[in-house]
Structure formats: structure tokens, C-alpha cells
Amino acid sequence: MKGTTMKRGHTSQSSFRASLLIAATGLVTACGTGTSDRAVRKLQGPNGTITYVSSYNSPDVIEKIIGSNELTPVLQDGANIPAKYRPLIDAFGKISMGCTATHIGNGLVITAGHCFEAPEKRINNKPCDNVTVDWGYRKDKAPYLKSKCTMVLAAELNDSRDYAIFKVDVAPTAKVEVDLTAKPKFGSTVTIFGHPQLRPLEWSQTCTVENTSNGGWGVDEFSHQCDTEPGNSGSTIIDDTTLKVIGIHDGGRAPWNYGTFLLNTPILEFVGGGSTPTNPNPAPAPAPAPAPAPAPAPAPAPVPVPPSQPGNSMRTLPSRSFGPFLNNDERTLVEFGTDLGRQISFTLFIDTETNADYVRIVDGKGLGMVLSGRQSRVFSKLTLPVTIKFDSDDSIRSRRVSVQNVVAYK
């Protein structure tokens, strides 16, 4: 774990913040800007993708490896990191402009504000149509999912805060919980996962939360000494005991990096309800014994759901189960319409071929989630209408999808 070091002199806070702004690399490419204290480096990512990330001419600014380099590439199954982290690693993504993202559930994602060229005062509902996130990109493992950013709900970049909260069209299968109870105490042990220099996921190992005065950061920020590089911007800073997000990594100058306290962002405005995974990264379902394929049969029509009765504010609906499924089977399982009311809650149990067969849920706000493997999830008060679909490949057949504990709200 990185220990405390003596602080060194640093450049002015305002000029450093200005230099961070070019980390929204797609914008840098478009305008081709540069200043005396920064430069733009071209990096070649996977499949020949070219991305521009900010770097700095001053050694005091570019160096964010504190002491010895402890960044550790994460193997595809996470076998080389502590077991407690492995359920989280599919929740980290590489954003197309060159930053790191973390899914915190219900399609909500957090990163740094400078990744979206956030203004000094908070901006809400900023379009982000050209931004994508690749989830689960690790050493010897391609991303398992690509999501599109649908809206930046809130973002801000100033001397005190640097954050962005956005939504994606298809949520990854894993998430990292957020700590909404209290800010961490100084000396608390934390860890970081991210995509330094566009590389596959790397682990910073651990460091501690320290006072903002160590680096001269803002009042809503704190210092840390976990190793990072350009591309780590937006990585969540995670409490090493609770495994919950307590901050967002924003940048650094040797010998200190810094982050924004999560509770000093408007996160409480957006977190609540939605899906709660009972097992964010479950073990794959065992392969069923080979059996002769049944004769193809026409897919059944979507399950009709009876309309709600007048005068009831809440109504319990019958459970439904589906399966086993054929290969190359694509169908709509359930359609919950607006005739049921305004919102619906349910528990979804699935036993499908991991990362090959998928269950897709889309609600009335356009929020989409894709599930695979063997798991259960609770969906709380999704906006109607809600559609649940199944899609399989041509290899191992999936066993079951069950929709239970269904409650509609008028």
C-alpha cells in the first residue's frame, strides 16, 4: 500500500484545471488545441482505434505514478487480484473519449466531469450521442458489451468538484455499490480500477484517503497516492473494506493524486430504486447434458397481462416462467403495458448460457439492461411500458427465465 510522502511545490490550481479540460479527447481532436503546459498524445487502442489523450510537458504534472509503479493488469478472470474484487470487474468500462467509467446500477454511470468538457457551473441533461463505453475489457479478453451514452444527467468541473453522472442505453451485468452514508475518514484504505493509457483494465492496488491540503485541491476533494495515468480519469475510488464507491479520481501532480468525494456530487438525486443484483457476477450455469434437439415449434405469443382494476393503487400479478429454450431462439416473453398503471416491480430469475444467451429488459424511459448467466435481480418501480425479451445463439441451450413477485402501481 502506498504510504505518505512529503508534498512538493505545484502549479496553480486554475491552470491545472484548465489543462484537465482537454482530457475529453474527442473534443481535443476536433479543435486541435494546445497550450504551453500541455500536449496531446495519440494512442492506438484495440482494433486500430486512434484516441487522443492529454499529457503534460511539466514533469511535476504528468507524473501520476507515485514512487514505484504498482499498476497491475487484470487477467480475464481476475485470478491475479484478490477474490473480493472479482465480482466488480465487469462494472468498469473504457469510455470512447479515453476515460474510465463505472456502472453503479440501473444504467447509471459515473466518471470525471472533464471527460465531458463540463462547465464551471453544473450542467444538466447534456446530449452525448457519440460517446460509447466498452465494458469488461481486460488482458486477453475483449469487451463483453458496448453501451451508448444517452444523456449526461449532471456534470461539473471547477476548483472544488470534477464529476459526471450519465445514463447508458444498455447496462452491464455488474455494478459497484455507492456509499451514501458518510464521507470516508482520512486514513481509510481505498483502491482504484481503470484503463490507463487506453490499456485493458488495471488495478492500482491500495492507498489511503488523505487531506486535500496535501495537494492543494478543492474543499470537496481529497488526496490519495494510488497509481494512475492518463485514461484513469473518472475511475471510481472504492473503499477497500465495504467495496463501495466513495469518490471519483480526477487527476494529480506528483506526489499526490486527487478525487472528488462522491457525497459532494448530486448522486443522491439519481440513486434509488431500480435494479438490485443479488449476485452481481454469478458463476456460469453448468452446461446441460447433450440431448437431441426438439423439433422446432412456433414461438409463443407474448404473455398477456390483465389490466389493472379501477380503484386499486397497487396490484399483484401472476408469476410467469419460460423455458427450456431452443437454439437461435428470439422472442418477446412479457409485455407490461401502460394499462397496468405507471410503474411495475418484479423479480427476474434467469438460468442462461453466460455471455451467449441474453435476457433484455427495456422500460418506458428507454432504459435498457441485458442479463446473462445464472442470477436473480429485483427491479423496483420501472416506468411502464416494460418489455422482457430473450435471445439465444446456436450452441448450448438455456434453461429458464422466470418473472415473479410482480406488482403494478397506478
Quick: pLDDT tens for 198-210. Answer: 899 999 999 999 8
Whether 8 shows a pLDDT value over 80: the answer reads no
Would you say 371 and 358 are in contact if contact means Cβ atoms under 8 Å apart? yes
Q: Are residues 251 and 285 in the same domain?
A: no
Q: Are residues 233 and 281 in the same domain?
A: no
Would you say 172 and 369 are in contact if contact means Cβ atoms under 8 Å apart? no
For residue 112, being part of any structural domain is answered with: yes
Q: Are residues 120 and 257 in the same domain?
A: yes
What pLDDT, on the 0 to 100 scale, is given for residue 28?
31
Q: Are residues 97 and 167 in the same domain?
A: yes
Domain that holds residue 81: 60-269
Nearest to 157 by CA among 122, 108, 111, 128: 122
Residue 324 pLDDT level (bands cut at 50, 70, 90)? confident
Quick: pLDDT tens for 199-251. Answer: 999 999 999 998 887 777 788 999 898 988 888 999 999 999 999 999 999 98
d(CA 333, CA 321): 9
Specify the number of domains making up the chain.
2
For residue 201, being part of any structural domain is answered with: yes
Neighbours of 90 (CB within 10 A): 23
d(CA 20, CA 66): 19
Q: Are residues 88 and 105 in the same domain?
A: yes
For residue 235, being part of any structural domain is answered with: yes
Nearest to 99 by CA among 228, 277, 241, 286: 228
d(CA 356, CA 397): 10
When pLDDT is averaged across residues 373-381 and rounded to a whole number, the result is 83
> Peptide bond preceding 296: is omega within 30 degrees of 0, i.e. cis?
no
When pLDDT is averaged across residues 255-272 and rounded to a whole number, the result is 90
Whether 10 shows a pLDDT value over 60: the answer reads no
Lowest-pLDDT range, 184-193, 265-274, 285-294? 285-294
Q: Are residues 260 and 315 in the same domain?
A: no
What pLDDT, on the 0 to 100 scale, is given for residue 41?
37
Q: Are residues 186 and 159 in the same domain?
A: yes
Quick: pLDDT tens for 30-44. Answer: 222 222 222 333 343
Would you say 195 and 218 are in contact if contact means Cβ atoms under 8 Å apart? no
d(CA 188, CA 250): 18
Q: Are residues 262 and 279 in the same domain?
A: no
Q: Are residues 85 and 192 in the same domain?
A: yes
Q: How many CA atoms lie within 13 Å of 400's alpha carbon, on the beta-carbon side?
A: 13
**SS3 state of residue 389:** strand
What pLDDT, on the 0 to 100 scale, is given for residue 3?
55
Residue 340 pLDDT level (bands cut at 50, 70, 90)? very high
Would you say 245 and 110 are in contact if contact means Cβ atoms under 8 Å apart? yes
For residue 220, being part of any structural domain is answered with: yes
Q: Are residues 125 and 182 in the same domain?
A: yes
For residue 258, being part of any structural domain is answered with: yes
Q: Are residues 162 and 97 in the same domain?
A: yes
Instruction: State what percent of residues in the chain have pLDDT above 70.
Output: 72
Whether 308 shows a pLDDT value over 80: the answer reads no
Alpha helix stretches (DSSP H) within 279-342: none
For residue 190, the domain's CATH number is 2.40.10.120
For residue 31, being part of any structural domain is answered with: no
Q: Are residues 181 and 310 in the same domain?
A: no
What pLDDT, on the 0 to 100 scale, is given for residue 368?
67
For residue 13, being part of any structural domain is answered with: no
What pLDDT, on the 0 to 100 scale, is given for residue 330?
83
When pLDDT is averaged across residues 73-92 and rounded to a whole number, the result is 95
Residues with Cβ < 8 Å from 212, sequence gap 6 or more? 218, 219, 221, 222, 223, 258
For residue 22, being part of any structural domain is answered with: no
For residue 366, the domain's CATH number is 2.60.120
Would you say 281 and 88 are in contact if contact means Cβ atoms under 8 Å apart? yes
d(CA 144, CA 233): 22
Whether 55 shows a pLDDT value over 70: the answer reads no
